[in-house]
Structure formats: structure tokens, C-alpha cells
Chain A
């Protein structure tokens, strides 16, 4: 796939909000309509599992199948519009120095780890446990609200024959993706703790979020 890398002019010192998410931890916050959110892969090859909801009515949320269908493209990059389950734009990707982000791999979970790797992997930390913990503390969201997420910085190629593989990341230290919020959104992140496949380069690391007005 041809990748068009689009850098951003925004300077970190102008950001109105910055937060570093340690490796393996959840983070739930809000971004207002018109603000720009940057997700920054600080040390490289770090999957940032992310879900988006309308802050005004969280039953409206990121819809992977509608998003992919409308762009007729399985990967996300600059220009991708993330559509809601009501068909409205939630956010638009406005810059991307990584070039490709996964939409099909979903998030790791205790239960899926037991299926994918070994029954005994059930007790390792996971993204969906992170999602649930953040949702239940926040109080507006619960298990029903955890659907298929975006994996920023993760590389899951689909072959013309219908194969699907997890490959080493196309990301690197300092790579980032920027999204403009088209409505007020809740951002739910799990900074992925997966140790059983190369999605984090076998070494989960911190990621940073920055927000500009």
C-alpha cells in the first residue's frame, strides 16, 4: 500500500493539554468539537487501542464497518473520517506520520488471550480489562459500549486471498496521528499491554496525548 505521510505544523508547546499514558494503562478523557487530538508513539511500535463516543449522547459511537465502507479502504490514514453508528462524522484524521492504522484487530482481552495463545494466558493484563475499568469508573459507559476499536500504530495487513496477519509495526519513536474532533467526543484509550505478539514490538511503552484548540 502506498503510504502518504502527512506531518503537522502544530507545536507541542502550544498544546492546551498533554498527558503521558504509561505502558499498559487506560485513559478516558474528552475532546471538544474543533479541537485537534494528537496520539504520539513516544518510543515506537506501541499499539494505542482507542474508542470514540459522542459526549452529548454516548450511545452514538465509532462505527468500524460504516467507516471502512464509506472510505472503501481497510486501513485508516490522513483524510479518513471516523463515522458514528448514526452516520455522522465523529473525527477526521488530519495528519499522520505513521501511514497506516488497524481497524480489524480489535483489542486484546483475558478471554481472547486464552483462545489465541494458551488457556493459562487468561490472567495477563489486557486492553478490554482496561476499557472496562475506565468505563465503570467514568459511569457513563459499560461492557455493552465496548465494540470494535481502532488500533493506532498497529499493522494488520489483509491479503487479496483473505488472509489476516499481525506484523511488526510500521511505527517508530516519535510517530503520531492527529484527529480533528467534529463533535464533542469521549476518547477511551488502552495503551496496549499485550506481550504475546509483536503489536507492541514485544515491549509496551508509554504514549502521549496532546490537544490543541
Chain B
């Protein structure tokens, strides 16, 4: 039965809506991943920028502080913004008066940096701070992050950079330890610090807010570009899906057609097989019928020929009888005897015809092989078929080469006669045009074979049918006229005699050649 598998299909799963959605989702995931990574990269780079800024600020502060430390601080005019530092009151020369009477107060590096940082913070938002767990000025007190960082310095950490919140706002905070120098001892030595000790830490905090503002713009751009890319990719998926859908529906149609055709074909094959089987049966039946018909046709031909042949002698007998009566009336015995003799001739000529008929009727397969002259065979043939050709004004001539008419051959007399009758009958059906109305029978013989050529005025037999004419049941005659058995049966008889029957290729008209051995092995046995 018909397999349900489609003849054509795609290599992958069918393109249904689910797989399209899945493809779009995967695409979205890829784009999403890219968005996350890009945003992360964006923030990372902004943070790195902030860290760089923190480091440069720290370095600048450090340079400035180092410079100030090397000078042991600076004397400035005290005012409301810069009062004498109360946490340096332990220094004897904190406040000095110049020779001109100008009052000056000492700003140690820490004091300077704190003031500068406060002012920078106000202007730029960057916070700088010096802090320690042991303080001169409590304003420098460390917050929680700074305390944690200070603790880490004890473990040998030399720099801490972290993002941390100050008052809820994000900052990059950088802190490095501050090492006591010789110059520091004048201000801080009383607290017990020596050169090389970690006095505390210097930190710089860079606000991330401006960086984040920039990042948000970039991120928006990332979102927009990625969305566009997703849309384009998604569009491709949808278009591709549409193409597949289209191709699939075409395939489906084609497959359906194929399946239908296959079913139709199978049906047809079944039908044809059935028909062929029936035909086979019919053929066998018709073969048998044709064989029978062939016999009947031959019988009909014969009967018609015989009727014509007998008619003339019968007519003659009627007239002779009339003459005999007249002879008696006239008492003319001459007439009586003459006519009576001729009556005998007529009777014997009729008897001859009947003899031929008897021979023919005996002409079956078990007919005995006899020695018979070529002439006798031809007489058998003509006695029953000559009239028929005459009736149709067909010229029928026999030529014997080298007086071979008396050559005797050992054969089944009537079987051989029937071959010639069959060839003549075929010729009879062919020579329709008046100019073609001739049949020549050319007979020749050598020591071994007798050759009988039957040539008629019809055209050469077409090449397309040449090979088929000896096949059983092949006929070129109208339906009902030919049985298609004549030539095949004739060929069979010729072969059974050790002879042959074939068509002469070279002749311009239709020419059949019958060759029969003068004597063959089988006939010798019979003798």
C-alpha cells in the first residue's frame, strides 16, 4: 500500500509558529546578552576613568603635600577663613610677627590640604581627606570605609580603590597610606609617631554621578542600536520563515499531487494487469478461434475454387447429354459415341478435382511422405485455385527452369501444396491494382533442393512488418479477412521438411522463396 511518508521534506523540523518564536527568542537572548555586556563595559570604562581621575588627584595632592612638608609648612596671614590652627598650639613658633609687625600663623601640610580639599569639593565635587585613627583635628575623623581601609594598611596593602556611597551618592574612593617622614615629626611627633610609621591614610573620592550621566546616554544608544539589530534579525527570521512556509506549502501541494498520482498509477497498474490477464485469456481463446477460422477460411477458399472448377465440366456434361439425345433422334451413332467419350473425359476431370480435394482433406500432420513430381504438386494447387485467379483477371504463370517439372521430391504432398496455396492466397489479396495483377511462380531444382519462388505484382513488403509476418497471429489484412496463421503454419511445414521459407530481400516486388530438400533423413527412413 501507499506509504504515508512524504516523498520530499526539509532536512530540519517543520517551520511552525513555535519554532519561529523560539528563533526570535534566541535572537533576543543573544541581543540581550550583548546589551548586558556592552552596558557592563560602558560602566566599567566610566569607572576606570573615575579611578584614573582619583589617582591623578591623589598624586597632585601628594605632590603638593610633599612640597609643603619639605618646607615644614607655610606661614600665612591669619584671618577668619584661616585662623591659627588650635591643634598646633603645642608648637612654640606657631604664630610669629615679622620685623615690620606682620602677624603670621603656621599652616602645616595637613591643614593646607584639608582647606584646599574643602574648596575643591565645593567647586569640583572631588573630596580629598587626610585621616587617621589618631587625630590632631577631630574634623579629620575617619568614616566607616576609611576605618576599614586603614585597618587593611596594617596588613601591608598599599592602595585601596573601591566604589562606595557617600551620603547615598556613588563615589570612586581611593586611599593610600601616609608614611611618617622626618619633617612630619615636628607637628606629629608628640602623638608618638616616628619616621616610617603609618601615620594614617590619604583618600580621594571622585563622584560617579557625572560619569553615570554620560553612561546613561551611552546605554540609551546601546539599547537603541541593539533593538534595531534585533528588529533586522527578527525580520530576517520572519521573512525566512515565510519563505519556508511558502516552499512548504508548495511541497505539500507537490507531495499531495505525487501521492495522488502514485495512487492513480497503482490503480492503473492494477487495472492494466487485470486487463492484461483478461487479454491473455482472450488471446488464448482467440488463438484457438483463429486457428479454427483459418481452417474454415481455407476450406471456404477451396470450396469456392472447386465450385468454379466443377461448373465448366458440369455445363459441358449437360450439353453433351443433349447432343447424345440428338444423336439418338438422328440415329447418328457418331455423335452418340463422340459425346459419350467426351462425357467420360468430363467425369474423369471432375473425379480429378475430387481427388485433389480428397488429398487436401488428408493433408494433415500425419500425412505420409511420398515421391511426387513438382508438376504434380502444381497441378494439385491449380486444380482448386486457378479459377479463382482467372475470375479476378490475375495472370498466373509457372516457369520451370531446366525442365525441372519432372523432378521428384520426397515430401508430404498436400502439405507442400497447401504452402503454395497459402502463398497464392496471400498474393490474391495483395494484387488489387489492374497493373499489378500478376503472379509468377518460378521453380528450379538442383541435386539437393527444389526452389519455388512465388512473386506477385504487389510492392515490396515494408521493412517494419518484414520481421513479423512469420509470427503466429500477425496479419496486415483487414479484420475478419486474415487469421495471421498462414505464413507461420507454412514456415512450420517447410522446416519440418528440412527446408525453409523466407522473403527475398532483393526483389523489387513481393517474393517468397520456398526451398525443399529433394530427400531428407526423415523421408529416407520412410522409404
The answer to whether A binds B is no
Could you tell me which A residues sit within 8 Å of B by CB distance?
none
Could you tell me which B residues sit within 8 Å of A by CB distance?
none
